[in-house]
Structure 1
Amino acid sequence: MSAAALSARDYRATAINPDDGVEIALTVMQPELAAGESAPLILHGHGFGGARLPNRYERSVYETLSGGILPSTEAARRAADAGYFVISFDQRGFGDSGGRVEIMDPAVEGADISAILDWAMQEMPERERLACDDGDPRVGGLGLSYGGGFQLIGACVDPRFDAIVPTATWHDLRYSLAPDNVVKTAWGAALVALGVPTSGVRLDPMLYRALLEGLISPLTGRGLSQAITDRLYNSSPVSFYDGEVARDGERVADPTRRTPAVDALLLQGVGDTLFNLNEALHNAEALRAAGNDVQVIAMQYGHSLPFLQDIDRIAYQTDAALHIDGETYETAALELAWLDWKLKGRTPERSIPRHTIILDDETSLMFDELPIGTGDHGPTVEFAGEATTGGLDLLLGILRRQSVSRLWSLVTGTAANALHAIKRVFDSDKPASGDDTALIARLVNALPSDHLDELASGGTFLPLTVIERDDQAIAGVPHADIEVSGDDATPIAFVGIGVRRSAGGATILLNKQVRPIRGAGRRSLELNGVSHRLHAGDELGLMVYGYHPQYLASFSAIPGRIAVRGRIALPIFDVS
């Protein structure tokens, strides 16, 4: 007998992790279905510090606070009216869910995700209407940032996922938060600030400790401790691709960790300063190597620091529309159409290229393989020069120009407590707390925002190549062989691709993308992916900084000079 017609409704429910009894709060958005019709399931997860959708009509907490929709969240709302069961959930430690935020630990948050799928299959009131193939449900995922991380980790731990759409998320948290073990302290402070309101300070102490270790790195001369880098690796998709876990600094084979069998549409922002384009590239490479179908769209925007980047939103600015191959698509509609293809078998009107880089509001570039500087896609050029390292003198110089009353208001009642907080970093029996982190962050962030450009303006421009004609673009991941030498054996420098316009004016750091180099010696490395239209007479160069505000408190404590030389392959294309 055919199942009766099903009315649309939204309701709240709870899934319980059987390992520790923690309750995960759910909003279930049930579709309207005709008699006998079934529907796939989509799990929707929020970003760090966010909360689940209350229903299919209202905006999420973050959308309300920032004044605009998020495409992945809008896609989840629309999916509920397009023949999908949608479960939007408060990730562990956030909103109405129990437990503590464990930064996507596969054994903890991963088990939460499996518990939600178990609930949908075994307890959801209309579970018999789930679309299944031989008893296996068709499951998709939507979400941004932390909500993208749950999809990759979830697919790694639970084979029931068929298709995922992770937006602006990570491949390796060690690289995301501390590349070359130089901590992104500006982002560390931002993540703590974003996470506290909806978690009620239920954050893993590791996050506070990592931020503290970064804040005091100029004093200690080191980055993150081994225990923290091990945790970050184990909470990353790369550990599943490698089939290993990290223990006490050693990598140990783990047969339970393997690359998932799941198709993916990866959206990543070229202007994302937290999870850059390189992360999507490496996720795509690993997933494809396991036989999955993967498309990558490099958007213009992503995670952004409001005081460093020209954006209209807090923390995230993702592209609401994408211009691909002469047509403009709503990002939310594109994501849902891709899921329709993978979960309902509906062939999209236009196929999505394997790799698309959105150059600007009118132009996109399409590739079979995402360009990496190998010399096949543009020139390989040599460079050499000197640069200054160390930001302490620059910081102190600017601080000295502040009024006594301003500095006093910032440090009153803080200095003695800050010393106490620093000591706690080295006391493993007394983990750093959120209060400790806030005390030190107040001192480090004492600078007014109008001085941040000054801190980033001391970069050295090492010329690379002059563009000879219009309608060209640099798009992809430059690759460099760099040798660093100098008096300091462990200098910290920051490098990125810059352009000096033919018409004069300031030198631009492309897409605000800069990465650190710790220590002297020769190395081969990827620079952060970039995308920028070029004009005849523009000169590309390697920008070398001794200090950059994205790494607010991470720099060489003792100023010095370094010699930098090497060669770099630039992915340059004709826009036509």
Structure 2
Amino acid sequence: MRVRFLFIVAIVLTPLLSGCNSSSDRDDIPEELTREIIINSQAPNDSNGNLTTAITASLFLPDEHRNGQAYPLIIHSHSWGGSRVSSSELRNMVPATAASTSDYGSQVNSQLAALREAGYAIISFDQRGFGRNGDDGDNGSEGGSHGMSPDFEIEDAKAVVQWAVDEWQAGRLNLLADGDDPRIGLLGSSYGGAFQPMLAAEDPRIDAIVPSMTWHNLEASFAPNGVLKKAWLIAICNKVVDEDGAELSTEMELACTQVRLDDSREIEDARVTENLFFDNSLASYEADPTFRMPKVDALILQGVRDTLFPMNEALKMRRYLLSGGGDVKIIAHESGHSGVRSGAGSQGPIGQAYCGSIDAITTIRRWFDEKLYRRNSVALPDICVALDNRTGIRVSSIAPASGSYRVAIPPSTTLQGISENNVRSAANEALFYPLGQPITQSNLILLGTPLARVTVNAGVTNDDPTPATGPNAAGIFIGVGILRNNQIYLVDDQVQPILSTDPRTDGTQQPIELVAVAEKLEVGDRVGVLLYGKHDLYENHPIGSNELGTNWDGNVATVFGTVDLPIIEANSLDRR
């Protein structure tokens, strides 16, 4: 049976042309410089049994092509539930900035127009199973989506690279090259960001990438510490059959069935996802002791308040890509996948793609200009992290929290899922344990990964709705909180789950990383930890809905221990 679905989250589904106006100059792009193409991937088509899979793509050539000049190539792909950029879409694109009103994904895609105008060839392709709703006159790429499998989607992407190289060697493309090595960059966000580092791992012909709001380890994003991020997973899967958004492989069909079950809470309740999530990640390459990451220059764009792929993913991706010897930067801004209810205790709507004075969107073209055209270098810090929508900090590295700011969680602390933690409020329903003293310095910030050392046990009355798949597990959800002006709020909307069955919580209190945060502190702030018995992101309703979750209602957990907060001095901030 063919199963099709559409990702309903606003930042992914907003049309590619959202917020863009037509341009008469782009309407005049000569027809001979645009072409819709089909590329045969050697990865099998598991929908019909064919040994190859047809991948649909659009080719856009720069004006330099008509003059016989050489140019670099950018390969682009789309977010989940989307489709490639077609010729008509490119003609209507206006290059955006971080200040544009269009959504973040559209801002990234709009840079294709800027890149073509700046002298780049573009190939935008449909991931297998996608492209069914495009206006490009075809049915999209064949096959069913495997969710970014090295054996399928990455093989497809390698076929796109090889097609371009073959066209160049045949004299039909004038690719800029170093000897027999053409200069190739990759672009895309979310699902379209994930293929980039994995393709660069397998194809050393990739010179520069810009992975944006994406993952390093899909398991750590979708099921941190073994707990299913249900609200997001349901949103990803719950439009199956309703709309012609994609075709799924059999494995992906089963994964969606399991994660959408009302009672499922842990990855053990959705067994097919255990290997699927991890294998479809750059982290799986890192885990192979025989594999060596090739050199690739990477500009990683990530959202500090991204609740699907948090900043931890960018930090881990950077660490691994650096092992290959490339130039790897991070711009962590205030945009990304949001989906958090804006109530009491919320920090409000998600922000823009700025880090202080750095516009992450317009930096994309400048990055490729430096790395592929070898034009003026871009003056970027190793890491820039937004502290709010107007302020950022530039650093060379981010260290884990030390013990200088340690919060104590007292013995016999009990959390219950029956309370409406985060159903109507992001913080007020949680237990708040602050540092012993308020903030007294004006130059302190939160920056980095908190470390928890806790003992978690299931309470006597704990009720795990799926005991058949494992022990009677209980869970806690930990975030960083600030009490300011008599209001507690959850920093960057981020929480991390920890199960009573986690061996690190059995009394040895081994360090457990929480979600990385970044925030400017004020004198008088009470900074601490927020503890929940359940949390909106992990409940059995779609992200952004007003529904009430039930899968954690029977949760009863006891916890005690400490949490180290990443509070540091920052005497030089970048503001716009």
Q: TM-score, normalised by structure 2?
A: 0.78
The separation in 2 between residues aligned to 1:455 and 1:362, in whole angstroms, is 23
1:40 alignment partner in structure 2: 72
Matched, 1:181 2:226: yes
Matched, 1:50 2:82: yes
Write out aligned runs for 1:79-478 (5 A).
79-95=115-131, 96-123=140-167, 127-193=172-238, 200-216=245-261, 218=263, 223-243=268-288, 255=290, 257-305=291-339, 307=341, 319-320=352-353, 322-324=354-356, 328-348=357-377, 350-375=378-403, 379-384=405-410, 386-391=412-417, 393-394=418-419, 452-454=423-425, 457-465=428-436, 466-478=438-450
Counterpart contact for 1:498–1:542, Cα < 8 Å: yes
Counterpart contact for 1:268–1:276, Cα < 8 Å: yes
Counterpart contact for 2:383–2:397, Cα < 8 Å: yes
Label 1:223 to 1:500 Cα distance change in 2 as closer, same or farther (>3 A): farther
May I ask how many residue pairs the two structures share in their alignment? 489
1:27 alignment partner in structure 2: 58
Label 1:131 to 1:101 Cα distance change in 2 as closer, same or farther (>3 A): same
Structure 1 residue 225, shift from structure 2 partner: 4.3
2:19 alignment partner in structure 1: none
What SS does the corresponding residue of 2:160 show, helix, strand or coil? Answer: helix
The separation in 2 between residues aligned to 1:544 and 1:365, in whole angstroms, is 28
Structure 2 residue identity aligned to 1:10:
T
The separation in 1 between residues aligned to 2:425 and 2:67, in whole angstroms, is 65
Structure 2 residue identity aligned to 1:25:
T
Structure 1 residue 221, shift from structure 2 partner: 7.1
Structure 2 residue identity aligned to 1:14:
I
1:510 alignment partner in structure 2: 491
Which ranges in structure 2 are unaligned for 5 or more consecutive residues? 1-29, 45-51, 132-139, 461-471, 541-549
Structure 2 residue identity aligned to 1:281:
L
Structure 2 residue identity aligned to 1:94:
F
2:34 alignment partner in structure 1: 10
Label 1:454 to 1:318 Cα distance change in 2 as closer, same or farther (>3 A): closer
Counterpart contact for 1:49–1:195, Cα < 8 Å: no
Task: Report which stretch shifted further, 292-301 or 31-40.
Answer: 31-40
The separation in 2 between residues aligned to 1:318 and 1:7, in whole angstroms, is 38
Label 1:145 to 1:559 Cα distance change in 2 as closer, same or farther (>3 A): closer
Instruction: Give a deviation string over 1:360-390, Cα, whole Å, max 9, x none.
Output: 2332101111242134xx5344443554444
Which ranges in structure 1 are unaligned for 5 or more consecutive residues? 1-5, 244-252, 399-450
Label 1:540 to 1:484 Cα distance change in 2 as closer, same or farther (>3 A): same
The separation in 2 between residues aligned to 1:571 and 1:211, in whole angstroms, is 39
Structure 1 residue 176, shift from structure 2 partner: 0.7
Structure 1 residue 45, shift from structure 2 partner: 1.0
Which of 503, 508, 531 pairs up with 1:544?
531
Label 1:455 to 1:559 Cα distance change in 2 as closer, same or farther (>3 A): farther
Matched, 1:534 2:534: no
Label 1:486 to 1:518 Cα distance change in 2 as closer, same or farther (>3 A): closer
Structure 1 residue 203, shift from structure 2 partner: 2.1
The separation in 2 between residues aligned to 1:114 and 1:26, in whole angstroms, is 13
The separation in 1 between residues aligned to 2:416 and 2:119, in whole angstroms, is 57
Which of 551, 569, 574 pairs up with 2:570?
574
The separation in 2 between residues aligned to 1:187 and 1:177, in whole angstroms, is 8
Structure 1 residue identity aligned to 2:382:
R
The separation in 2 between residues aligned to 1:468 and 1:194, in whole angstroms, is 50
Instruction: Give a deviation string over 1:17-74, Cα, whole Å, max 9, x none.
Output: 12322111111110011744201110111111111111322359xx9xx954623212
Structure 1 residue 196, shift from structure 2 partner: 6.4
Label 1:71 to 1:126 Cα distance change in 2 as closer, same or farther (>3 A): farther
Label 1:286 to 1:159 Cα distance change in 2 as closer, same or farther (>3 A): same
Structure 2 residue identity aligned to 1:108:
F
Q: TM-score, normalised by structure 1?
A: 0.78
The separation in 2 between residues aligned to 1:311 and 1:94, in whole angstroms, is 35
Label 1:142 to 1:312 Cα distance change in 2 as closer, same or farther (>3 A): farther
Label 1:98 to 1:456 Cα distance change in 2 as closer, same or farther (>3 A): farther
Task: Report which stretch shifted further, 87-96 or 471-480.
Answer: 471-480
Label 1:195 to 1:159 Cα distance change in 2 as closer, same or farther (>3 A): farther
1:405 alignment partner in structure 2: none
What SS does the corresponding residue of 2:162 show, helix, strand or coil? Answer: helix
What SS does the corresponding residue of 2:130 show, helix, strand or coil? Answer: coil
Structure 1 residue 457, shift from structure 2 partner: 4.5
Counterpart contact for 1:373–1:476, Cα < 8 Å: yes
Structure 1 residue identity aligned to 2:517:
V
Matched, 1:491 2:474: yes
Structure 1 residue 182, shift from structure 2 partner: 0.6
Label 1:386 to 1:167 Cα distance change in 2 as closer, same or farther (>3 A): farther
Instruction: Give a deviation string over 1:286-330, Cα, whole Å, max 9, x none.
Output: 1112222100111112111164688999xxx6734x244xxx344
Counterpart contact for 1:510–1:530, Cα < 8 Å: yes
The separation in 2 between residues aligned to 1:364 and 1:552, in whole angstroms, is 33
The separation in 2 between residues aligned to 1:371 and 1:47, in whole angstroms, is 31
Counterpart contact for 1:280–1:296, Cα < 8 Å: yes
2:483 alignment partner in structure 1: 500
Aligned CA RMSD, in angstroms, stands at: 3.1
The separation in 1 between residues aligned to 2:511 and 2:309, in whole angstroms, is 21
Q: Give the % identical residues.
A: 30
Structure 1 residue 191, shift from structure 2 partner: 1.3
Label 1:196 to 1:135 Cα distance change in 2 as closer, same or farther (>3 A): farther
Label 1:339 to 1:151 Cα distance change in 2 as closer, same or farther (>3 A): same
Which of 512, 517, 530 pairs up with 1:525?
512
Structure 1 residue 545, shift from structure 2 partner: 0.4
Label 1:221 to 1:279 Cα distance change in 2 as closer, same or farther (>3 A): closer
Counterpart contact for 2:308–2:338, Cα < 8 Å: yes
The separation in 2 between residues aligned to 1:201 and 1:142, in whole angstroms, is 21
The separation in 2 between residues aligned to 1:74 and 1:224, in whole angstroms, is 40
What SS does the corresponding residue of 1:290 show, helix, strand or coil? Answer: coil
